[in-house]
Structure 1
Amino acid sequence: MMKAMLKRRIAERLAQYNRIVIWGAGSAGLLALGLLPRDRIIYAVDSFSSARDLDGKPVERPERLREEHPDTLVMIASIADKEIGSWMDENGVVCVRMDFYGLLVEVVDPASMKDLLAADLLANWHGSLVETLIRRPQILVNLSYRVSHSLLRSRSLPGRIAATLSRLWHASNCAYFGIDIPAEVSAGPGLVFAHCGAIVVHRRVTLGSFCTLYQGTTLGANRRGAVPRLGGRVIVWAGAVVVGDCILGDRTEVGANSTVLGPFEVNHAIIAGTPARVLRQFSHPAAGEKAEDRNER
């Protein structure tokens, strides 16, 4: 039902496009194929995949896009959307382009617990609800967190009752899944706990849309009480610790077993090490200024 709701909204949003190409033949491409109007998808493209089809849709080389009509929509289901956009510009591809995850954020109501849960479920989806519960039982943490967060925010129950229920759910998540995420945390749609175990999130942390936290990660406060803020599609790999006034912008990845200490600010980059440093910068937040220079101040 939740998936059908999002599919309907996406179909309405894309009503003007009769030809859609998905860029990306991986897991994100499969997710896009399941949500976009299938009868309007003509094929997928991918630079690296050796697959010949994406669940029944042919997979072509990107060069074919040079032959496409300008009204064709290229739905980019890849973290390398900026690089893909640059390739399209350099190769004279004049099709309309759109970021798939940006589209999902657009059709999800951030004030609706139902919408947020639907996005969480899609981000964790494994073919069917039963298979998802078997392979990702920690999706139940998303459920209890979203419900308790909604209760605290809406005040539909007396404060003491809502707080007690939230604390009970929180304690259960810690005991059974090893995931410590208080109801006060602000998290965007599509939150993923990739594995169970030793995930700790401070109650004042802010998580953007489609963030992924692996096992053994900590997002905590420093002695001054400053906490991290994560943008959209941030991935924190296993064993990483992010503490203090850290701003991890959209599409940032924190390497496994890294330690990120604030003040630290980066956007669309890969960071790793102890203490963490920028290993690869995909785009600079400020023209002419490198993230490494800013973080050394």
Structure 2
Amino acid sequence: MIETVTVIGAGTMGRSITQYFLQRNVNVLFVEEDESVMKDAISSIERQIEELEEKDFISTRKDDCISNLKTIQTLTGEISTDLVIEAIPEKMPLKQKIFAELEEKCNNTTIFATNTSGLSISEIASVLKHPERLIGTHFFTPAAIVPLVEVVKGEKTSEIVTNFVMDGLEELGKRPVLLKKEIPGFIGNRLQHAISREAISLLESGVASAEDIDTVVKWSIGLRMVLTGPIEQRDINGLNVHYDIASYLYKDLNNSSAPSPLLKEKIDKGETGLKEKKGFYDWDKVDYKNSIKEKDEKLLELIQLISQNKTRGD
């Protein structure tokens, strides 16, 4: 159903979304005004597709994928495409401006999608003459690997647009989930931040080291959540058991409405994580590009294993 896609923005998300569609034999028009950023993005996409091909993670050849890619720096002339996905910085005026421009350059059958992590779809669409054609498609990093896409309707998004995007993404191998309500942060980021808030609070309170807190998550609830989500697990454990624990535990959980002082302190020191070699962990002796590559490959192996088991009915 989705044969041609335009992706705007060649940052981390834009290039990964582009890579995914190329791997699925979709023609992609890639838009990025910064020539050096585009050059780096194409190099990254080619390298990653080649590595995936060598390890049999994908069946498509790199040359075939790249032959479906066209790049431009600016939105000049008429844009003919089934779907436009915007992946520019999380600033409302920028997103509104780009979609208003797109509305003038695309035919009336083109569907617009924003990859925002939590901004209001309705507010972005408010500047459009036809807000019914805009929808949210929140991909998760790395978008070329993680199957889930949160699909978010605005107040005026049409059912035709919604069905096209849901069906199209599913046909291309993604697992789209449709939100029934438009809320800040959508589902994934709300759950992720709730866990992170408590984890950082535990670290700040001296309950355990960062490594041990992560170990608890990775080797207990993290493993289990691959197969059983948090709501399903309540049924398995027993809702009465959950209620009894929640009755005494909730009042002791972190419920701060502002980010942790420890997090702010780290940022003020420039200790912002892997690329700076310092965050909650000391990354001084880690090659961050290879570290991310190894994690991505393990994630692909895990996804393939789970998919195979589901196919067999395990």
User: Structure 2 length as normaliser, TM-score?
Assistant: 0.34
Which of 1 and 2 has greater Rg?
A: 2
Structure with the larger helix share: 2
Larger relative CO (CA 8 A, sep 6+): 1 or 2? Answer: 2
TM-score between the two structures when normalised by the length of structure 1 = 0.36
